[in-house]
Structure 1
Amino acid sequence: MPVRRLDPILIDRIAAGEVVERPSSAVKELVENALDAGAKRIDVAIEEGGRKLIRVIDDGCGMDENDLALAVERHATSKIPDGDLTNIATLGFRGEALPSIAAVSDLTIDTRAAGSSHGASIRVEAGRLHGLRPGNWPGGTRIEARDLFAATPARLKFLKTDRAETTAVADVVKRLAMAHPHVRFSFANGGALLEYAACGEDSGARADRIAQVLGEEFAANAVHIEALRENFRLSGLAGLPTYNRGNAQMQYVYVNGRPVRDKLFAGAIRAAYLDFLSHDRHPAAVLFLECDPAEVDVNVHPAKAEVRFRDSGLVRGLVVGALKQALAGASHRSSDGNAQKALHMIGARSFDPAARRPAAANWDWRLSPSAPQRLEESPQTQLLRPAPAADARAQETPATPLDLDAPLGAARAQIHETYIVAQTRDGLVIVDQHAAHERLVYEKLKRQREANGVARQILLIPAVVELDGGRMDALLPAMTELAELGLVVESFGPGAVLVRETPAILGEVDAARLVADIADLLAEEGDARGLSRRLDHVLATCACHHSVRAGRRLSPPEMNALLREMEITPGAGQCNHGRPTYVELKLSDIEKLFGRK
């Protein structure tokens, strides 16, 4: 088959397939162009999930006729003024966004440069230019893309439902809005409207915008991140471990203002929360990394969704270290949402008459307002009633002022032999005794491991593990670090290693499988944390099985000792699985429930 040149329009459509995967991709490119143009207000509107119409209006610097004519040509951009690809200070620079969108839609651009006496307009339909003409647009730029993918029906049929595509577009607007709090954003889809007012440019503007987008609940249950290492600065908000999610959709990462989805950051966030969350729960975080543009390559992905750093290990260490330090500083904070949910549930049950009304199937005549008042229950009926579930033995000993002034207060009762009720100066605290003691035992086991090292067990018959070249190259430099964690391996000729000792706490383990898994992790992430994670998981399991169980009756001194130890233990606000260990209710909130305030 002879080689031939492709048609220019076909070339544009192939390029569009890399840049414009779905309507949200087009919206992302257009909004980023508006931000690079210095816009202070950006309005986004779509119809039918973006299939029928995508409209982006901004009040940026606009374009004159010459710039507009070049803007719809491939590899034409204003974002590399000196041609230096290592110094990119804008959100995008590939020069393919507008021509790619124009190749798969009916694109119209109306614009007017600042200070110009008139505007200009251009239309490109499925890659065919209809010419440049004068326009009357007042200022900034309006871009409309109609009938997206109409010229490429194969791509059109792979789009999801209108609702799913609308959600994807809304997510793009949210991500870009959080990175640019000084800009007013609006998003309309038919009758639905999403609007974020400009938050200014002061130090608190970013936190205000995050609260606008993600809600006040996230802001109330997050800790501030601020860290600096060499030429990299990390800032943002990270959710408390108790404020977790079933997926990673609430993790937002930005590099020099550019939203990215990168496995380096995903792995670093997961590693930082490893001690606090189970494997099926995910933290919420909004992180901003700022660095010299020369330290990061933002051109490794057609849609600019991934980045590559010169020193990825430094960046990973910065993210993990900053998150761990912030979480350690908030180790005694439990999710505020848990207390609010408790108050809401109590309030609903206290004031909702329907909540008190028994179901018809379980109706008890004695509860009826019309029931005879002179009938008395027999002594036998009294014996059938269950005993009270509260153990108030702590009341026998008066609470000391020292315990009352402590953060978790003085133990006053044990409820259902599972929950400790403690009294503070301005409220009460309810503690889950099993979850709390599980965290205490886990931290104690970790301290013992750090102080005494990891005990090893010698294999009776050393295991030979065969590895390919890539995994061997990743494993051999980490042998010393692995030995400190209890796994002793040594080279055994080309393509193989010999396992002589394994961590004793792992018990009987498949050494070959363990080494292969660690080698895979080393090849992917470049560190030996895989074995450390395995050891931490074993310690967490041991802590769970050796902690105070629900159903065990505790004495007042035991309850107070548990509270005091929680106050000095890192991460005591949540158990190893991310569940809260206690809920604090302020006296003022309780008084509101009973109408005292």
Structure 2
Amino acid sequence: MNAPGPKISAERPVIRQLDDAAANRIAAGEVVERPASAVKELVENALDAGARRIEVAYADGGKTLIRVLDDGCGMTPEDLPLALSRHATSKIDGSDLLNIHTFGFRGEALPSLGAVGRLSITSRAEGFAAAQITVAGGAMAAVKPAALNRGTLVELRDLFYATPARLKFMRTDRAEAQAIADVMKRLAMAEPYVSFTLSDVSGGGEGRVIFRADAEQGELFDALSARLGRVLGRAFSENAVPIDAEREGIRLTGYAALPTYSRGAAVEQFLFVNGRPVRDKMLIGALRAAYMDFLSRDRHPAAALFLTCDPERVDVNVHPAKAEVRFREAGIPRGLIVTAIRHALAEAGHRASSTVATATLGAMRPEPAPDTPRIYQMDRPSYGAIRQSYAAQAPLPQTGFADRSALFEPFAAPSARAEPVTEEPEQTQNPLGAARAQIHENYIIAQTETGLVIVDQHAAHERLVYERLKRQMAENGVPAQALLIPEIVDLSSGDAALLLEHAEELAQFGLAIEPFGGAIAVRETPAILGEINAGAMLRDILDELADLGDSQSLQSRVEAVLSRMACHGSIRSGRRMRADEMNALLREMEATPHSGQCNHGRPTYVELKLSDIERLFGRT
């Protein structure tokens, strides 16, 4: 019990200066976490050098080889030793650390890589001869002549050989290769006018191309849409809405996917600040808040968003890996993301993602029997053979009948009762078409000019009622219920001050608070919530304020009650609807934003094109 602490020594510790090799290895522990970190630093250097074509190759997940070739401005033989010195950079002069326009600026990447691996740099600047320099484990060799047309070639071999302990923390080759591919895709999205190639050369030779994105052409939105289609696939570009908004000098561009194109994890959320890929929890929280009203908690939105502002309004010198940023006015970009995405989704109207129809067609396609052999095109009978086969199977004329049509007279009259239907002829021209039938007292079948639409009547009407209730709440506010005896919630002085800073925002949703000594007095609560635990609600709001800088807890609770009210007040499953009621529901869906998905993010309708239906029956 009386043993001294492990950091307590009987002798006075001596302060000593670390040598450059130890300092570089310490810096490498912050900058170079894994092979993907090395690829990120080298590719960002190539982009800062003005490269328009970047080729990256790796072997064994980047553990044994990382090679980056670019066509940038290059370096002179005199620049190469300086580039491997700590805190030496051509991107800033050190006078202003806030006005940064480049990816890199610390001057730590190359010396850190040379401290933990075997690094070779071959470069040629215009008007100079090519030169090469090597460094292994921090030991630098002399500059020597080399052969290179233009740009820079960087080879990093045996990463972390100088720090074997770090190798024990490496994951499998496949996992490290996936991380490298993710880094390349993020940088490719940030620079649509640059060509990127990623190859796996494990085992020697030219290897195989893992990822390739040629330079795009055209305007920014066209180039960005094409690049996102290459990186994320056509499904994302087809089901995303463009974002272009500006507020107080901060511009937001990019694409946000429809709510029905949601994912089971946050794997398609890409955020960029001044072209720099970042993973900022404040921006991610804003993206989540923008979709809060459209997705359930187990679904995640997909988006690629680009924030552009004056570099002096954002601090990128927060983290050694430059993955986090800090805005001077954090509320402006957050509010911009929320309002811009919600406005874009509202303009999309009743649109639902095309992946819903694709999944429906896949479910409807019959599966062949396991013993049925595959039929190839050359084995299929021709159209002439099929026609002759049908003619041979036709019944022969019988005596006693003057006309073959008499054979089918018993089937001329229909067995079902037919009633004339009066409808507007132009209703099929509407996006959701004209109602034709109701099946299982829950699904409406509508005919359009190009196919048919299947509508879930309960989910669709639930969304319509919910949007109507939200409009009423926005117009009239949230009614507040005054407490007969104010509820006193004991909080720390810091938490109480933080809540009081947001008192006006909370009052808009019917929650009135005021200081009460060192605590908080709750005077009014939202009437729509009924009897609530005010203390628990305030602590939930505090958790969100501490984590994201803003709180949607109270708003989400109010909207959850509205959602339940909409569910109970909408058309129930099992109710038979008349034709005019079904058509009225379709017309209201077309006029209501967000009607393509229900309150929980599920689609309210499925649209099938006539060509897809004909393909199901083999008619094409």
After TM superposition, is the score higher than 0.5?
A: yes
Q: Which one of 429, 432, 441 corresponds to residue 408 of structure 1?
A: 432
Residue-by-residue CA offset, 1:195-235 (whole Å, 9 max, x unaligned)? 11111353321211111111111100010111122322211
Distance in 1, matches of 2:344 and 2:277, equals: 23
Paired amino acid for 2:575: R
TM-score, normalised with respect to structure 1: 0.89
Q: State the match for 1:196 in structure 2.
A: 213
- 1:94 matched to 2:106? The reply is yes
- Relative distance call for 1:356 and 1:501 in structure 2 (3 A) is farther
Paired amino acid for 1:207: S
- 1:262 matched to 2:262? The reply is no
Q: Which one of 22, 25, 28 corresponds to residue 16 of structure 1?
A: 28
Q: How far off is 1:500 after superposition?
A: 2.3
Q: State the match for 2:4 in structure 1.
A: none
Q: How far off is 1:518 after superposition?
A: 1.4
Q: Which one of 114, 121, 137 corresponds to residue 126 of structure 2?
A: 114
- Relative distance call for 1:408 and 1:340 in structure 2 (3 A) is same
- 1:26 matched to 2:38? The reply is yes
Bigger radius of gyration: 2
Distance in 2, matches of 1:298 and 1:483, equals: 35
Asked if the contact 2:281/2:548 (under 8 Å) is kept, the reply is: no
Q: Which one of 183, 195, 199 corresponds to residue 172 of structure 1?
A: 183
Asked if the contact 1:182/1:201 (under 8 Å) is kept, the reply is: no
Distance in 2, matches of 1:556 and 1:161, equals: 61
Q: Which one of 310, 316, 320 corresponds to residue 302 of structure 1?
A: 320
Which structure 2 segments of 5+ residues have no match? 1-12, 202-206, 373-415
Residue-by-residue CA offset, 1:92-119 (whole Å, 9 max, x unaligned)? 1111011111111111111111221x21
Residue-by-residue CA offset, 1:344-386 (whole Å, 9 max, x unaligned)? 444x42xx643898xxxxxxxxxxxxxxxxxxxxxxxxxxxxx
Which structure 1 segments of 5+ residues have no match? 358-391
Which shifted more, 269-278 or 460-469? 460-469
Q: State the match for 1:559 in structure 2.
A: 582
- 1:145 matched to 2:169? The reply is no
Q: State the match for 2:561 in structure 1.
A: 538
Q: State the match for 1:157 in structure 2.
A: 168
Q: Which one of 73, 79, 92 corresponds to residue 67 of structure 1?
A: 79
TM-score, normalised with respect to structure 2: 0.86
- Relative distance call for 1:412 and 1:125 in structure 2 (3 A) is same
- 1:574 matched to 2:586? The reply is no
Paired amino acid for 2:566: A
Asked if the contact 1:471/1:520 (under 8 Å) is kept, the reply is: no
- Relative distance call for 1:396 and 1:445 in structure 2 (3 A) is farther
Asked if the contact 1:438/1:547 (under 8 Å) is kept, the reply is: yes
Paired amino acid for 1:504: A
- 1:469 matched to 2:493? The reply is yes
Q: Which one of 494, 519, 523 corresponds to residue 500 of structure 1?
A: 523
Q: How far off is 1:405 after superposition?
A: 2.9
Residue-by-residue CA offset, 1:473-513 (whole Å, 9 max, x unaligned)? 2211222332221112111112x101122112222211101
Distance in 1, matches of 2:23 and 2:62, equals: 23
Distance in 2, matches of 1:155 and 1:48, equals: 16
Asked if the contact 1:471/1:523 (under 8 Å) is kept, the reply is: no
Aligned CA RMSD, in angstroms, stands at 2.1
Paired amino acid for 1:75: H
Q: How far off is 1:396 after superposition?
A: 6.1
Paired amino acid for 2:260: T
Q: Which one of 213, 232, 241 corresponds to residue 214 of structure 1?
A: 232
SS of aligned partner of 2:141: strand
**Count of aligned pairs:** 558
Asked if the contact 2:282/2:549 (under 8 Å) is kept, the reply is: no
Distance in 2, matches of 1:466 and 1:551, equals: 50
Q: How far off is 1:576 after superposition?
A: 1.5
Distance in 2, matches of 1:545 and 1:45, equals: 58
Paired amino acid for 2:165: A
Asked if the contact 1:481/1:528 (under 8 Å) is kept, the reply is: no
Which shifted more, 461-470 or 59-68? 461-470
- 1:585 matched to 2:585? The reply is no
Asked if the contact 1:472/1:519 (under 8 Å) is kept, the reply is: no
- Relative distance call for 1:82 and 1:187 in structure 2 (3 A) is same
- 1:246 matched to 2:264? The reply is yes
Which shifted more, 42-51 or 519-528? 519-528
SS of aligned partner of 2:486: strand
Asked if the contact 2:114/2:138 (under 8 Å) is kept, the reply is: yes
